Amino acid sequence: GAIALLGPAPGAPSCPHGPALLFVKTSQGKEEGRRFYACSACRDRKDCNFFQWEDEKVSETRLAAREEYNRNHQPSFTHRQNVDRYKNFVLLPLSKRRFCQECQQLLLPAEWEKHLDHQFLCDITTAQLKSPSQLLYPLENKKTNAQYLFADRSCQFLLNLLINLGFRRVLSVGTPRLHEMIQSKASQEEFSIRSLLLDIDFRYSQFYTEDEFCHYNMFNHHFFGGEAAREICRKFLYEENDERVIMVTDPPFGGLVEALASSFKKLMAMWKETEKEGHDNKEMPMFWIFPYFFESRILDFFPSFSMMDYQVDYDNHALYKHGKTGRRQSPVRIFTNLTPSMIVLPEEEGYRFCTVCQRYVSSGNQHCEICNACTSKDGRRWKHCILCKKCVKPSWFHCNNCNCCTLEKHSCEKTDVGCFVCGKAGHKRSACPSLS
Ligand code: SAH
Ligand code: ZN
Ligand code: ZN
Ligand code: ZN
Ligand code: ZN
C-alpha cells in the first residue's frame, strides 16, 4: 500500500498541532483508497499519534476528550508569559541568569529549586540571549523538526543578498538563524531591516516578542496564537514606507511539498491582500530553500520559480557542509521567483555568470550546446544523452530496458506512478537516484 497526501481539508479535526491533513491510503488491487486524517507536523507517530478515518464517526465523549488533550498539550507558558519572564530575566545580574538545558528554558531564581538536578548553564550573557539558536540545542529528529542550522557563511551570504536586493523586511519561515542574524544587524545603528520569525519551535518565544515571533505550523498554515498572531503577520507583510518584503523559508525535507506549497500560497495571498497598488500581477518575492531533487515538484506548484546553483551549507548536518573543505557537497539550493540574473553568487567560491542562461552557475556547471542551458544540478559536470534528449549525471548511463538514463546498478522494474521525490516514473521513492 501507498500513502498520498490530499492536503488541508475544510472541517478537518485538530490535534495539538492544528488542523490535521487529509491523506489517502491505497492498497494494491483496490481502485479507491481509504482516506484518513493525520497530524500535519509530525510524520513520526511517536511525536503525535493523531489518526482518524475520514468516514469515522467520533462520539461526543471522544471529541471532548480530544479537546481536553489538545489543551493539555500546549506549552506550559504562553508567549505573553514568556515575554514577561524575559523582561525579568534581563534585569537579573549575570550570576543569577540560568538556563536549564534539560527543559530548554530560561530560569528565574524562584524556579531554580525545581531544576536542581537538571543540567543548567550559568551566567547567560546578553550576547547568548541574542543568539538563541546557539543556546538551544537543535531539534534534529528527522521526521518532525529536522532543525538544521545555516553555517555562518551561508547565513551571511543570504543576508547580504537580501540587503543588496533592497529588501527591508524578511518573513523568516522556519529560519531562526537568519532571523537572529537580522535582529542583531538591526540593533546596530543606522540599519533598518526587520524580520518576523514563523516557526513551530515554541522555545523561541522565550527570546522574542509577539512582533518578532509567531508560533506557526507551515504544513497547515496554522497560527497557534490565533487571530492576533495572524494579524501581526498581516501587518508585517504590509509594505509601509516602501519597505519591500521577501519571504525566506527552509522547511524540513519530508515529502509534504504540496502541504508546504499550499501554506506558502496562503502567505502569498496574505501579502497580496495588503492591497498595495502594483501588487496586481505580482507574487510576494520568496526564497524557498530545498534540495535540488525537489525541483520538479516545486515548479509544479510555483511555475514562476527557478533554482539557483548556490549550495546552502549547514552547521549540524554532517552531509550538507561546504564542498570546498573536502566534504560532500550540499544538495540544498535556493528556489526563487525573482529574476535569476539578480541573484549574484560569490565568484570567490567559484560561481560564474553564464551570459546565455543569464544567471550565476557553479564552476563545474558547463553550458550544454544541445540543451542550450547550464544543466548540472549538483555542481558536477553533467553529460548529454542523445536518447534522453537531456543532460544527466556523470555517473548515469542509458538503460535500453528502462528507456532512460539511470544508475548502472538498478533493477529494470517499472512503476506507473511517479517517484515521490523527483516525480519521475520508473522507480519508487526508496530507489530514487536523486537520493543516492
Ligand atoms: N536553516 C534554518 C533552519 C531550518 S531547519 C536556519 O538556520 O535558520 C527547519 C526549521 O523549520 C526549524 O527551525 C524547525 O523548528 C522549523 N519547523 C519544522 N517543522 C515545522 C512546522 N511544521 N512548521 C513551522 N516550522 C517548522
Ligand atoms: Zn529543568
Ligand atoms: Zn548556461
Ligand atoms: Zn544537454
Ligand atoms: Zn539516456
Q: Identify the residue whose C-alpha is closest to ligand 1 atom 9.
A: 147
DSSP 59: -
Cα 104 to Cα 75, 91, 121, 172, 211: the distances in Å are 12, 20, 10, 22, 22
Closest-CA residue to 85 (of 215, 228, 206): 206
Q: Are 394 and 380 in contact (CB under 8 A)?
A: yes
Return the pLDDT at 391.
96
Q: Which residue from 324, 358, 332 is spatially nearest to 344, judged by alpha carbons?
A: 358
- Nearest Cα to 194, choosing from 220, 232, 227, 230? 232
Please give the share of the chain, as a percent, with pLDDT higher than 90: 72
Q: For residue 265, how far is its CA from the centre of ligand 1 (angstroms)? A: 18
248 ligand 1 Cβ < 6 A:
no
**Distance in angstroms between the alpha carbons of the first and the last residue of the chain:** 24
Exposed / middle / buried, residue 241 (Cβ in 10 Å: 0-12, 13-18, 19+) = exposed
Asked whether residue 414 carries a pLDDT value surpassing 60, the answer given is no
Fold of 152-363: Rossmann fold (3.40.50)
Kindly give the pairing relationship between strand 120-121 and strand 98-100: antiparallel
* CA 178 to ligand 1: nearest atom: 8
Separation between Cα atoms, residue 136 and residue 132, nearest integer Å: 6
Q: How confident is the model at residue 329 (pLDDT cuts 50, 70, 90)?
A: confident
Cell reading at 408: 548502472
User: Ligand 1, closest atom to CA 41?
Assistant: 22
What's the confidence (pLDDT) of residue 128?
A: 96
How far is C-alpha 170 from the chain's CA centre? Answer: 14
DSSP class per residue in 103-159:
TTEEE-GGGGGGGTTS-EE-S--HHHHH-HHHHSPP---TTTT---PBPHHHHHHHH
pLDDT of 139 above 90: no
**Closest residue by CA, ligand 1 atom 18:** 145
- Ligand closest in space to the Cα of 399: 5
Q: Is 15 helix (H, G, I), strand (E, B) or coil?
A: strand
Pairing relation of β-strands 390-392 and 352-354?
unpaired
Question: Which ligand has an atom closest to residue 250 CA?
Answer: 1
Q: Which atom of ligand 1 is nearest to the CA of 177?
A: 8
Q: Is the distance from CB of 131 to CB of 315 less than 8 angstroms? A: no
Residue nearest (by alpha carbon) to ligand 1 atom 16:
174
Question: Which neighbouring-strand residues pair with 223?
Answer: 216
Cβ burial of 24 (10 Å; 0-12, 13-18, 19+) is middle
Of 372, 370, 401, nearest in space to 386 by CA: 370
Answer whether 136's CB lies under 8 Å from 104's CB: yes
pLDDT in tens, 261-294: 999 999 999 999 887 666 777 899 999 999 999 9
Domain residue limits, the chain: 2-73, 79-124, 152-363
Query: Per-residue confidence at 326, pLDDT binned at 50, 70, 90?
Result: very low
Amino acid in position 237 = L
Contact between 178 and 199 under an 8 Å Cβ cutoff? The reply is: no
DSSP annotation string for 285-321: -EEEEEEGGGHHHHHHH-TT-EE--PPP-BSS-SSSS
Inter-residue contact 262 to 6 (CB < 8 Å): no
d(CA 73, ligand 2 centre) in Å: 18
Query: pTM for the full model?
Result: 0.91
Ligand 1: nearest atom to the Cα of 145: 18
Q: Which three cell numbers stand for residue 391?
A: 543532460
Residue 67: count other Cβ atoms within 10 Å of its Cβ.
11
Instruction: Check residue 298 and give its pLDDT.
Output: 97
The whole-number pLDDT of residue 94 equals 96
Lowest mean pLDDT segment, chosen from 157-171, 264-278, 333-347 = 264-278
